[in-house]
Amino acid sequence: MNERARAENKKKRQLGAPFGIEYVAMKKYVTLLIAAGICAASLSCPGCAADGRRTSYDIKCAYDAEKGVLGGVCTVNYVNEGPDTDALEFNLHANAYREGALYGPVSEELSGKAFYDGPDYGGMEIISVTGGEWQVCGEDMNILRVALPETLASGKSASVTIEYELELAKVDHRTGITEHTVNLGNFYPIACARGADGKFTECPYYSNGDPFVSDCADYEVTISLPDGYSAAASGELAESEGNARTYSIKNARDFCLVLSDEFETLSRDVNGTKVRYYYYSDENALKKLDAACDSLAFFEETFGEYAWPTLSVVQTGFAAGGMEYPALTMINGELDESGAVYAIVHENAHQWWYAMTGSDQINCAWQDEGAAEYSALAFFENCPGYGFTRAGLKNAAISSYRAYFAVYDQIFGGADTSMNRHLKDFSGDYEYVNIAYNKALIMFDTLRESIGDERFFGALKSYSEKYRFKTASCDDMIRCFEDTGVDVRGVFESFLEGRIII
């Protein structure tokens, strides 16, 4: 959207003028939802018994394809699992796409490719909040803070209803309008996770890695689609009426949608899970569906049962290889055959290492990326028909890592090879990939060779089951390997602290 159009749209919003028939319908729809949200808020307040329930989201939204705008109302019934608090905080991840953001959402290496029609901007505007006094704040205007009318005790719940408008940039990224699809990752305000100290985890949108930490919750999402559009979603389709679709998912770390008026679909049942491949241009779509189904079956057998009744694999515009969300994976539509297959398997592995078993992706990116990368290696090792081998993937990781080390040593006089570090401390994608992916793969393979297959995969399965729907620390993972009866802490620490020579 150009600057003139953006300014005109903002002025119309301020004056209450409609954008046209589609926008009038959307605003009427949203207004009705606000009234419903206010009623819900009046029935749920600080002090209501939580009774062991999870936080839940009820999201009603409508997408206007002509304007590239999503209008929404998000009602969050927040269950306080931490200490007493006088406020709630929500991450506004999509606000990173606004002009002038402190941290751009796309790295310098990928920005030229991602912004396929030149630089463009979006952002999230909070229109109203019911349930407390509010302000948009944070390091990069990335936090919605809601001061509650009274203290929310531990174990109790409170309801907050947020009306917002999301303007989408033209960008091949998590949140944006691509040439064939509309990516709606991180499209709503999401409650900040809380640390052991009770503090909210604010997540500025660093371009390196996946700058997200969130707790599991239940979702019901209703979206009103433009004529001719269909949706791939994290949740299972619960209801369809006219152009409105309602999806639901339980115990999910977040929720994602991808929209398109070009989608074709293939599907297959795998151990009771409906696997769907959404695509707009793929002459070998069946092979992609095979990779999605085969990897799901392998990971279930190796690491434990998959949590949800559906899994959507979606070909879309995306500058990197792909992106994971609970029960949905985005796959870059420009990848060649082998690249697409690899991306599908890696992203599917994230259903275990991120979606079900969470970790701190901001400070310990290797914990989920390395586990997903090694899980992909294990899959291809056991399914040689896809053309990848354990030796080939390991050697490729070693070659790439050594090249990175040599370049950084020559240019900077040394390379920081420590693995536990904040996303903002990586110099860019090149360093991030070699530390969080390649070095982590080498570390896991070294562990496997040291303790044997039975202990190695048994430890990963134990880790998956013990921290299912929780957020595990690095030490939690290490203890699962120690529980096999072998002292592996030294191996982990030598890699994590950068003392190992590869």
What confidence tens digit (pLDDT) does each residue in 164-208 have?
Answer: 999 999 999 999 999 999 999 999 999 999 988 899 999 999 999
Whether 373 is in a domain gets the answer no
Q: Is the dihedral of CA 41, 42, 43, 44 positive or negative?
A: positive
Helix (H, G, I), strand (E, B) or coil at 57: strand
pTM score of the predicted model: 0.90
pLDDT 10s digits, 208-258: 999 999 999 999 999 999 999 999 999 999 999 999 999 999 999 999 999
Range of the domain at 140: 3-51+66-215
pLDDT, one tens digit per residue, over 342-375 is 999 999 999 999 999 999 999 999 999 999 999 9
pLDDT grade, residue 306 (50/70/90)? very high
Choosing from 157, 184, 215, the residue where a domain stops is: 215
SS (H, E, C) 399-463: HHHHHHHHHHHHHHCCCCCCCCCCHHHCCCHHHHHHHHHHHHHHHHHHHHHHHCHHHHHHHHHHH
Strand ranges, E, within 65-132: 69-79, 85-91, 123-130
Does residue 22 carry a pLDDT above 70? no
Q: Which range among 24-38, 69-83, 101-115 shows the weakest confidence by mean pLDDT?
A: 24-38
327 inside domain: no
Number of domains, the chain: 2
CATH code, domain carrying 400? 1.10.390.10
433 domain-assigned: yes
For 441-460, what is the mean pLDDT?
A: 98
Within a domain: residue 258?
no
The tens digit of pLDDT for each residue in 61-86 reads 999 999 999 999 999 999 999 999 99
Q: Tell me if 94 is assigned to some domain.
A: yes
In-domain check, residue 56: no
pLDDT in tens, 249-282: 999 999 999 999 999 999 999 999 999 999 999 9
Q: What angle do CA 433, 277, 248 make, to 5 degrees?
A: 95
pLDDT of 41 strictly over 50: no
Q: Average pLDDT of the chain?
A: 91
Say whether pLDDT at 16 is over 50. no
Last residue of a domain, one of 215, 237, 271: 215
Longest dimension (CA), the chain: 68
Q: Which of these ranges, 44-58, 128-142, 317-331, 430-444, has the smallest mean pLDDT?
A: 44-58
Please say which residue of 215, 232, 259 terminates a domain. Answer: 215
Assigned domain for 110 exists = yes
What is the model's pLDDT at position 30? 41
